[in-house]
Structure 1
Amino acid sequence: MTIAIAPIDPVGRAFFAGVVSGIDLRKPPTAAEVAAVHDGMDEFGVLVFHDQDIDDEQQLAFSRALGPLETATGDIAAPHERRVSMDLNDISNLDKNNKVVARDDRRRLFGLGNQLWHSDSSFKPVPAKYSILSARTIPPTGGNTEFADMRAAYDALDEATRREVHDLVCVHSQIFSRGILGFTDFTEEERAKWAPVRQRLVRRHPRTGRLSLYLSSHAGGIEGWPVPEARAFLRDLTEHATQRRFVYAHVWRPHDLVMWDNRVTMHRARRYDHTAVRDMRRTTLTNEVSSLDQAP
């Protein structure tokens, strides 16, 4: 098979989100396939692989072929509560016994933060590069994932706003993003683990050279700005960046695998019946260096 990547919406959004064919992720990728995936990510920002019935080890093998992984330290489950290894993020509504968690379960309430527009691991000093999400079991309805193209959002800013945002530095924390939803049930250890970190508001992609906005619900302030003004400005930027013309909404099918570049996208999960099983596994490639070390 020869790998091919085509735009999902060639008329309305030819520049964002591509569907990949000609690759079987149950097998270790070849060097040519790895290069094609990187090139596709540079072009589309989001790639969709249909009909990939893989297990955890196969997902890990594909992910590691693309680059170094970060450890899954962004969720709130204690080690003894986890269903999967620390190399995988458990994006599900299941406990370690594969039972659906209660509606008021602390882990579920924390996970509702995934329904806010965000970039994975922007709350870490070294944030995420690619996220790779495998759909093992999906609910009958709902649970879509939406992606916003932050390159197009940056390009659509007026010149005065581009100048204003160019050198700004934001502070990011999961404490802030969960607080938006009223979740404040953090231990002192968790508050220390998710102490605010600094990230640039504008990033330059190291391979393509394109500039993009680096926004996230985790961003709770701008250095040197009063907090209310910073949050109002960040909200305005997020409203701008998530206009429908910049967004691709992925409707999950069983065994879909979707990957995206956190440096040039935001995403959010959509609601679904909390009593239905939704079992997703995410591997995450580290960016390797801080956004502060990549001058725009």
Structure 2
Amino acid sequence: MALTIRPINPRRDDFVAEVTGLDIAAGVSPQLAAEIEDAMDRYAVLVLPDQRIDDDQQYAFSTNFGPMETATGDIAQQADRRLSMDINDISNLDRNGKVLPRDDRRRLFGLGNMLWHTDSSFKPTPSKYSLLSARVIPEEGGNTEFADMRAAWDALDPKTQAECLDLVAEHSQLYSRGSLGFDQFTDEERAKWQPVPQRLVRRHPRTGRLNLYVASHAGAIRGWPVPEARMFLKDLTEHATQREFVYAHRWRPHDLVMWDNRVVMHRARRYDHTKQRDMHRTTVADSAPTLEQAR
């Protein structure tokens, strides 16, 4: 079967596409991987339905797109992990497959995924792509929304664009979780998630397009008073998440969705916390810290 890529976003035909004619479990040739990366450059989010894969197959597919991250962004202790360090456990399950209690520290930390964010912007070298596989999903809720930060940049007025161009924000999970009232961090976690600098405006290395790079992890702007910085970041996030820039994905079992964290923000939506939601994410690292990349 030939590879087919078709836009599926009713609002715009250049943001989000569905890819069929691909069997990730069987492996992907370099030519097919190059076609997928070309499609990512155009659409930023790709939905690959009915991909019945295990973690090894998902990881092998992900390596076509660059060096891989390890799962160091959560608070699960090694003894509590149910997945390898190659896989981010985006679930509400403990290591025995049981639903976490409502007040479990791991679950409360995971609620930060419902804030608008970009994966790993709290790391010195952030991520390039995320690939999220739906293994078990609740019958209702739990959608993932994606915001196109390229279109959001294009829609800013020239004065605000000029103000943003040279700004450097500081990102940390201490900011994002703190905004929810979660401050139960150990000294080790506070040291691990010290704020890191990221450009507020990025240029895509292949397309040359500019885009905003904001997230709930961003809690400061270098050289600005904190209240003013947070207000400005809040305004930019509200602008970027207007409905015209957003696509909501309703998950089906065995969907694999991949997106470009350099140009997309996303968030999970609420669902019945007593129901299983088991999602496995692999993450491709970017090439360098954003301050070392072309302006």
The answer to whether residue 41 in structure 2 is matched with residue 38 in structure 1 is no
- Provide the rounded CA distance (Å) in 2 between the counterparts of 1:240 and 1:38: 28
User: What per-residue deviation string (whole Å, max 9, x for no partner) do you get for residues 4-31 of structure 1?
Assistant: 211102x521010010011001111011
SS of equivalent residue, structure 1 residue 253: coil
Q: % of aligned pairs identical?
A: 67
Deviation of residue 65 (structure 1)? 1.9
Q: Which amino acid aligns with 1:70?
A: E
- Provide the rounded CA distance (Å) in 2 between the counterparts of 1:226 and 1:27: 53
Matches for 1:1-296 after TM superposition, within 5 Å: 1-9=1-9, 12-296=11-295
- Provide the rounded CA distance (Å) in 2 between the counterparts of 1:288 and 1:186: 30
Q: Which amino acid aligns with 2:279?
A: M
User: What per-residue deviation string (whole Å, max 9, x for no partner) do you get for residues 229-288 of structure 1?
Assistant: 000000000000000000010000000000000000000000000000000000000002
- Provide the rounded CA distance (Å) in 2 between the counterparts of 1:87 and 1:142: 27
User: What per-residue deviation string (whole Å, max 9, x for no partner) do you get for residues 168-223 of structure 1?
Assistant: 00000000100000000000000000000000000000000000000100000000
SS of equivalent residue, structure 2 residue 13: strand
- Provide the rounded CA distance (Å) in 2 between the counterparts of 1:3 and 1:76: 39
Deviation of residue 2 (structure 1)? 1.6
**Structure 2: any 5+ residue segments left out of the alignment?**
none
- Provide the rounded CA distance (Å) in 2 between the counterparts of 1:184 and 1:159: 38
**Runs of 4 or more above 4 Å deviation:** none
Q: Which amino acid aligns with 2:138?
A: P
User: What per-residue deviation string (whole Å, max 9, x for no partner) do you get for residues 142-183 of structure 1?
Assistant: 000000000000000000001000000000000010000000
Relative to the length of structure 2, the TM-score reads 0.99
- Provide the rounded CA distance (Å) in 2 between the counterparts of 1:12 and 1:55: 33
Deviation of residue 35 (structure 1)? 0.5
- Provide the rounded CA distance (Å) in 2 between the counterparts of 1:66 and 1:27: 17
- Provide the rounded CA distance (Å) in 1 between the counterparts of 2:284 and 2:133: 14
SS of equivalent residue, structure 2 residue 129: strand
- Provide the rounded CA distance (Å) in 1 between the counterparts of 2:202 and 2:65: 21
Relative to the length of structure 1, the TM-score reads 0.99
SS of equivalent residue, structure 1 residue 15: coil
Deviation of residue 295 (structure 1)? 2.7
- Provide the rounded CA distance (Å) in 2 between the counterparts of 1:195 and 1:220: 12
Q: Which amino acid aligns with 2:139?
A: P
Q: Which amino acid aligns with 1:225?
A: W
- Provide the rounded CA distance (Å) in 1 between the counterparts of 2:39 and 2:280: 22
**Structure 1: any 5+ residue segments left out of the alignment?**
none
- Provide the rounded CA distance (Å) in 1 between the counterparts of 2:113 and 2:251: 16
SS of equivalent residue, structure 2 residue 14: strand
SS of equivalent residue, structure 1 residue 236: helix
SS of equivalent residue, structure 1 residue 13: coil
Deviation of residue 67 (structure 1)? 1.6
